[in-house]
Amino acid sequence: SDKTGTLTTNNMSVLKFFVVDNAAKDKAALQEFDVTGSTFAPVGEVTRNGRPARLKGNSAVEELATICSLCNESSVDYNESTDKYTKIGEATETALVVLAE
């Protein structure tokens, strides 16, 4: 089996992301976030240092969400007959759509 599960199940999810907190000259401080959820369902929690992250008003996170949504050709569809969310498009791009949601 592969490390991500993409080859075996064609699923992918975002587990962690980083944004620049501030930058000066040749140094940058990063904010690191962890993400729960392992399916295409748009549910989960974003945490920072083990606590729920404050995302609203964080311009770097908002810009990342915009990029994940607009620079993307995939989407998520809810299938009522199977009661599951499914991907339309590439697994990597769909994982970014779910993160933005």
Q: What is the pLDDT of residues 15-47, one digit of tens each?
A: 999 999 888 888 888 999 999 988 888 889 999
Question: Rounded to two decimals, what is the model's pTM?
Answer: 0.81
Task: Check if 2 is active-site.
Answer: yes
Does 6 score more than 60 pLDDT?
no
Are the C-beta atoms of residues 62 and 70 closer than 8 Å to each other?
no
Does 1 score more than 50 pLDDT?
no
Does 2 score more than 70 pLDDT?
no
Say how far apart CA 25 and CA 40 lie, in whole Å: 39
Q: Of residues 2, 26, 34, 77, which has the active-site annotation?
A: 2
CA distances from 95 to 20, 25, 30 (A): 21, 33, 22
- Going through 25-83 in order, the beta strands assigned E by DSSP cover 27-35, 46-48, 51-52, 75-79
Q: How much is the pLDDT for 53? A: 95
